Amino acid sequence: MKTCRNFSRGVRDDTNLLWKRSKRNEDMAKTGPVEYLHQVRNEMKKVTWPSRKETTVSTIAVFIMVTIAAIFLFFADQVMAFVVRLLLGIGN
Protein backbone atom coordinates (compact mmCIF):
# COMPACT_ATOMS: atom_id res chain seq x y z
CA MET A 1 0.00 0.00 0.00
CA LYS A 2 2.84 2.32 0.84
CA THR A 3 4.42 2.03 -2.62
CA CYS A 4 1.13 2.96 -4.31
CA ARG A 5 0.90 6.14 -2.27
CA ASN A 6 4.49 7.09 -3.09
CA PHE A 7 3.94 6.33 -6.75
CA SER A 8 0.81 8.46 -6.96
CA ARG A 9 2.56 11.28 -5.10
CA GLY A 10 5.39 11.13 -7.66
CA VAL A 11 2.90 11.37 -10.50
CA ARG A 12 1.26 14.41 -8.91
CA ASP A 13 4.67 16.04 -8.44
CA ASP A 14 5.56 15.47 -12.09
CA THR A 15 2.22 16.86 -13.25
CA ASN A 16 2.69 19.89 -11.01
CA LEU A 17 6.16 20.44 -12.44
CA LEU A 18 4.86 20.26 -16.02
CA TRP A 19 2.11 22.75 -15.17
CA LYS A 20 4.68 25.16 -13.70
CA ARG A 21 6.83 24.88 -16.83
CA SER A 22 3.91 25.56 -19.16
CA LYS A 23 2.82 28.51 -17.01
CA ARG A 24 6.36 29.90 -17.21
CA ASN A 25 6.25 29.61 -21.00
CA GLU A 26 2.94 31.49 -21.08
CA ASP A 27 4.47 34.34 -19.07
CA MET A 28 7.22 34.86 -21.64
CA ALA A 29 6.75 37.83 -23.95
CA LYS A 30 5.84 37.07 -27.54
CA THR A 31 7.79 38.94 -30.21
CA GLY A 32 6.79 39.46 -33.81
CA PRO A 33 9.04 38.73 -36.79
CA VAL A 34 10.14 42.36 -37.19
CA GLU A 35 11.09 42.70 -33.51
CA TYR A 36 12.85 39.32 -33.66
CA LEU A 37 14.96 40.38 -36.65
CA HIS A 38 15.78 43.65 -34.88
CA GLN A 39 16.98 41.71 -31.83
CA VAL A 40 19.02 39.36 -34.02
CA ARG A 41 20.68 42.31 -35.73
CA ASN A 42 21.57 43.88 -32.38
CA GLU A 43 23.01 40.60 -31.10
CA MET A 44 25.06 40.13 -34.28
CA LYS A 45 26.67 43.53 -33.65
CA LYS A 46 27.92 42.22 -30.29
CA VAL A 47 29.71 39.23 -31.82
CA THR A 48 33.50 39.41 -32.02
CA TRP A 49 34.30 38.11 -35.49
CA PRO A 50 37.72 36.57 -36.25
CA SER A 51 40.11 38.45 -38.49
CA ARG A 52 40.98 37.19 -41.97
CA LYS A 53 44.36 36.00 -40.66
CA GLU A 54 42.78 34.03 -37.79
CA THR A 55 40.32 32.42 -40.20
CA THR A 56 43.08 31.49 -42.64
CA VAL A 57 45.31 30.02 -39.92
CA SER A 58 42.41 28.02 -38.45
CA THR A 59 41.42 26.71 -41.88
CA ILE A 60 44.98 25.59 -42.63
CA ALA A 61 45.19 23.88 -39.24
CA VAL A 62 41.95 22.01 -39.95
CA PHE A 63 43.19 20.85 -43.36
CA ILE A 64 46.47 19.65 -41.83
CA MET A 65 44.68 17.72 -39.07
CA VAL A 66 42.24 16.15 -41.56
CA THR A 67 45.17 15.07 -43.75
CA ILE A 68 47.00 13.55 -40.78
CA ALA A 69 43.84 11.73 -39.67
CA ALA A 70 43.23 10.42 -43.20
CA ILE A 71 46.81 9.12 -43.49
CA PHE A 72 46.57 7.47 -40.06
CA LEU A 73 43.25 5.81 -40.89
CA PHE A 74 44.58 4.64 -44.27
CA PHE A 75 47.57 2.90 -42.66
CA ALA A 76 45.45 1.49 -39.82
CA ASP A 77 43.05 0.06 -42.42
CA GLN A 78 45.93 -1.45 -44.40
CA VAL A 79 47.39 -3.09 -41.27
CA MET A 80 44.02 -4.51 -40.21
CA ALA A 81 43.34 -5.79 -43.74
CA PHE A 82 46.78 -7.45 -43.78
CA VAL A 83 46.12 -9.16 -40.42
CA VAL A 84 42.68 -10.37 -41.53
CA ARG A 85 44.11 -11.74 -44.79
CA LEU A 86 46.90 -13.42 -42.82
CA LEU A 87 44.46 -15.02 -40.36
CA LEU A 88 41.99 -16.16 -43.01
CA GLY A 89 44.64 -17.31 -45.44
CA ILE A 90 43.25 -15.18 -48.26
CA GLY A 91 45.57 -13.64 -50.79
CA ASN A 92 49.13 -14.38 -51.86
Is residue 12 within 8 Å of 19, Cβ to Cβ?
no
Would 34 be classed as within a structural domain?
no
Would 23 be classed as within a structural domain?
yes
pLDDT mean values, one per 10 residues, the chain (92 residues): 52 57 63 91 93 97 98 98 90 62
Residue 79 lies in domain: 2-28+50-88
Would 17 be classed as within a structural domain?
yes
Distance CA 50, CA 58 (A): 10
In the chain, how many domains are there? Answer: 1
What single-letter DSSP state applies at residue 28?
S
Check residue 19 and give its pLDDT.
56
Count CA atoms within 13 Å of residue 16 on its CB side: 6
Would 44 be classed as within a structural domain?
no
Would 35 be classed as within a structural domain?
no
